[in-house]
A and B are shown apart, each in its own frame.
Chain A
Amino acid sequence: MSTASVPFGAASVVRRRPPAAVRRQRFLVAVANHSLLIAAAITFLAPFAFILLTALMTNNQALSSHLWPHPFRWQNFADVFHQAPILRWTFNTMTYSVLATLGLIVSSVPVAYALSRLRWRGRNVAFMIVLIALMLPPQVTVVPLYVMWTKLGQAIGFHFVGSLWPLIIPNWLGDAFSIFLLRQFFLTIPEEYLDAARVDGCGELRILTTVVLRMAKPAIAAVALFSFLYTFNDFFLPLLYTGENPARWPLQVGLAQFRSLHQVQWNLTMAATLLVMAPVIALFFLAQRAFIEGVTLTGVKG
């Protein structure tokens, strides 16, 4: 950390010294900074590289201490699809992701609007409760919820446990994080826009569905993105609710079981690992700006 802070220091000394010394020092600092960055970058990329190299090895090589595959076995990636129902898992993940995300946007936008642009008694208390719900670990309620889905399933004769529904349905009734994020964004919409609409005789619902929604597109995109990432990566709840029903496993649960499922080896496990990482990374490169802006949004407004 102290090395990293040098740059700001260097800039400070600048003006009071003769130009030659300044330039030299600036140059040295920049070189030091960049070499540190490059070293760190290599360290950060190395895990990906080794995972890829292992994914291309034969089974015996993966168990040896060789780092470079010989020969390159690209077939591993095809083998993964034969060994495990990757497509089925992907389908389950997508089902979870899409249904949860849609429901979460539809149900969270009105709540966020009421919490940001309407004035009513108890609003701050309500917002505090949303924040608390956001901060408490899900493990606090997980057991009674599991009991609830079990009992409900027995009552109406539908197997909620063993399906993706207990993961999806709660999202249809508002999601604390999305409400929080949308509220923060709605607060930044200038009041004049809303007033203009009001003068035109729009009701609050009209204002919400037209003016606010149009202006909040980036925030909604960010919420959708986070929801996708969350559902794609989610492991704890899918493990609980779909654990005993392999037909409903999403990718993450499948991947965690992959190694023990068919006694498969490290090379195939690493290939599967890469395949599971791929969609998110691909999405990142397609929508890099939305990612960075979305993440920044969560922090700066916090």
Chain B
Amino acid sequence: MSPAAIAEASPAPAIDRRRARRKAAWRRRGLVLLLMSPWLAGFSIFFGYPLVMSGYLSLTHYDLLSSPKWRGFANYHYLFHDDPQFWPSVRNSLWFIGIAIPLQVMFAFGIALMLARAKRGLGFFRTVFYLPALAPPVAATLGFVYLLNPANGPVNVILGHIGIHGPLWFQSPGWSKPSLTLLQIWGVGNTMIIFLAAILDVPQHLYESAELDGAGPLRRLRWVTLPTISPVLLFAVVLGVIQGLQYFTQAYVAANIAAGQASQAGDTLNNLGYPQDSTLFYPVLLYQAAFVNNFMGYACALAIVLLVVAFAVTSIILWNSRRWVHYTGATR
């Protein structure tokens, strides 16, 4: 079982052997501890400790300038009952997870299917569809805010040429989230590559036997392709939900740039969520509470709620996945 123990223990008599085995067991434990030590330290300092602190600070008013003042559950009460931006931010995040992420996954899947079927230029097309995923989020967002400028952005100019009165995109609360969704779809590259690899990995004989049973194209997609690649689909969905829960950069940059406030003035940064809180996702609200309004205690209450929700959501997905994910190839 443990090779180190075997190597040392074999030649000795019974008592010695037991002692040696115990010694070896301790050495093994020491080895495991040694190997695990970076993570143990990292986890306790950068995860365990802050989690506990979050819980404590969420019960106080704290601005980091003066010492924390005990508030009991006042922060939580304010959060659920009084903060006019809490529920809008929850709705925004849900919108993103419920609409933008599934759209992104569907696009990735569609493109991967087309690519898997491409006779020529697979390498070229794969590169083209992957490239946008490489654009750093800040840069990509800047580019999109310009492309989608309602007055003279290329998209509306082109739409204008074909007689369509383009929408206000990032300038209107109705279109700002769809604009961010477009940005998200543009960056499908990673998911697409994973899907493509999985689709190309589906054993050909499965299709052939399905074909013999007289299954049409859609039915084969439903009964062969989808079940076989379901672990990868699950991965994409989980990853999407995780991303959705921490969606910050694009929303922050888009709001700031679209609001167009030259912050030469002492900007109070109240353009977060521009326009009209439509891009105020939950993490943006948390940022605003902690680092703009100086309510560190309140921000911790927001963090605790996020923790509970994130934990619940990922558990539910992983739990339910047993029902619809087929693990064909054993990986371990």
A residues lining the B interface (CB < 8 Å): 1-2, 4-12, 15, 30, 33-34, 36-37, 40-41, 44-45, 47-48, 50-51, 53-54, 63-65, 67, 107-108, 110-111, 113-115, 118-120, 126, 129-130, 132-133, 135-148, 150, 170, 172-174, 179, 184, 187-188, 195, 198, 201, 203-205, 208, 229, 232-233, 235-236, 239-240, 251-252, 255-256, 259-260, 263, 266, 269-270, 273-274, 276-277, 280-281, 284, 288, 291-292, 295-296, 298-302
Question: A40, A138, A296: which contacts B111 (Cβ < 8 A)?
Answer: A40
Give B174-189 as 1s and 0s: 1 = Cβ < 8 Å from A's Cβ atoms: 0000000000001000
Residue B74 interfacial (CB < 8 Å): no
Task: Tell me, in angstroms, the Cα distance from A12 to B225 when the chains sit together.
Answer: 14
Residue B64 interfacial (CB < 8 Å): yes
Determine how close the nearest CB of chain A comes to the CB of B223; give it in whole angstroms: 11
Task: Tell me, in angstroms, the Cα distance from A148 to B52 when the chains sit together.
Answer: 12
Cβ-closest chain B residue relative to A278: B139
Q: Is the CB of B46 within 8 A of A173?
A: yes
How many positions in chain B have a CB within 8 Å of any CB in the partner chain?
122
Q: Is the CB of B142 within 8 A of A147?
A: no
**B22-62, CB < 8 A from A:** 28-29, 31-32, 34-36, 38-39, 41-43, 45-47, 49-51, 53-54, 57
Cβ-closest chain B residue relative to A129: B43
Task: Tell me, in angstroms, the Cα distance from A189 to B221 when the chains sit together.
Answer: 33
Q: Is the CB of A120 within 8 A of B211?
A: no
Task: Tell me, in angstroms, the Cα distance from A203 to B248 when the chains sit together.
Answer: 46
Among B11-19, B75-83, B230-238, the stretch that binds chain A is B230-238
Residue B9 interfacial (CB < 8 Å): no
**B189-204, CB < 8 A from A:** 190-191, 193-195, 197-198, 201
Task: Tell me, in angstroms, the Cα distance from A174 to B37 when the chains sit together.
Answer: 9
4 tightest CB-CB pairs across the interface, nearest first?
A: A9-B217, A173-B42, A299-B194, A144-B53
Given A111-B39, A137-B283, A280-B136: A263 and B264 interface contact (C-beta under 8 Å): yes
Q: Is the CB of B296 within 8 A of A147?
A: yes
Q: Is the CB of B146 within 8 A of A280?
A: no
Q: Is the CB of B42 within 8 A of A236?
A: no
Q: List 14 A-B contacts (CB under 8 A).
A: A5-B221, A44-B128, A48-B132, A119-B2, A136-B311, A137-B245, A137-B310, A147-B57, A277-B134, A277-B136, A288-B127, A299-B197, A300-B232, A301-B331
**B215-264, CB < 8 A from A:** 215-218, 220-221, 225, 231-232, 234-236, 238, 242, 245-246, 248-249, 252-253, 256-257, 261-264
Determine how close the nearest CB of chain A comes to the CB of B252; give it in whole angstroms: 8
Given A170-B42, A233-B136: A1 and B106 interface contact (C-beta under 8 Å): yes
Task: Tell me, in angstroms, the Cα distance from A77 to B26 when the chains sit together.
Answer: 62
Q: Which residues of B contact A9 (CB under 8 A)?
A: 216-218, 220
Cβ-closest chain B residue relative to A292: B193
Q: Is the CB of A277 within 8 A of B35?
A: no
Given A110-B35, A143-B290: A299 and B134 interface contact (C-beta under 8 Å): no
Determine how close the nearest CB of chain B comes to the CB of A200; give it in whole angstroms: 10
Q: Is the CB of A299 within 8 A of B114?
A: no
Determine how close the nearest CB of chain A comes to the CB of B103; give it in whole angstroms: 11
Q: Which residues of B contact A198 (CB under 8 A)?
A: 3-4, 7
Q: Is the CB of B306 within 8 A of A140?
A: yes
Residue B98 interfacial (CB < 8 Å): no
Q: Which of B114, B238, B311, B314 has the most CB of A within 10 A?
A: B114
Determine how close the nearest CB of chain A comes to the CB of B55; give it in whole angstroms: 9
Q: A4-B117, A143-B299, A143-B300 are in contact. List 17 more A-B contacts (CB 8 A).
A: A7-B114, A9-B216, A9-B217, A33-B114, A51-B146, A53-B154, A67-B154, A120-B29, A137-B306, A138-B246, A141-B50, A144-B51, A172-B38, A203-B4, A259-B142, A299-B232, A300-B197
Given A119-B1, A201-B7: A256 and B135 interface contact (C-beta under 8 Å): no
Task: Tell me, in angstroms, the Cα distance from A37 to B129 when the chains sit together.
Answer: 10
Residue B303 interfacial (CB < 8 Å): yes
Question: A67, A111, A236, A239: which contacts B35 (Cβ < 8 A)?
Answer: A111
Q: Is the CB of B235 within 8 A of A284?
A: no
Task: Tell me, in angstroms, the Cα distance from A120 to B175 when the chains sit together.
Answer: 53
Q: Which residues of B contact A133 (CB under 8 A)?
A: 43, 47
Q: Is the CB of A179 within 8 A of B138?
A: no
Q: Is the CB of A40 within 8 A of B129?
A: yes
Determine how close the nearest CB of chain A comes to the CB of B257; give it in whole angstroms: 6
Question: A137, A139, A239, A255: which contacts B142 (Cβ < 8 A)?
Answer: A255
Q: Is the CB of B211 within 8 A of A235?
A: no
Q: Is the CB of A126 within 8 A of B36?
A: yes
Determine how close the nearest CB of chain B comes to the CB of A300; give it in whole angstroms: 6
Q: Is the CB of B45 within 8 A of A173?
A: yes
Q: Which residues of B contact A204 (CB under 8 A)?
A: 4, 31
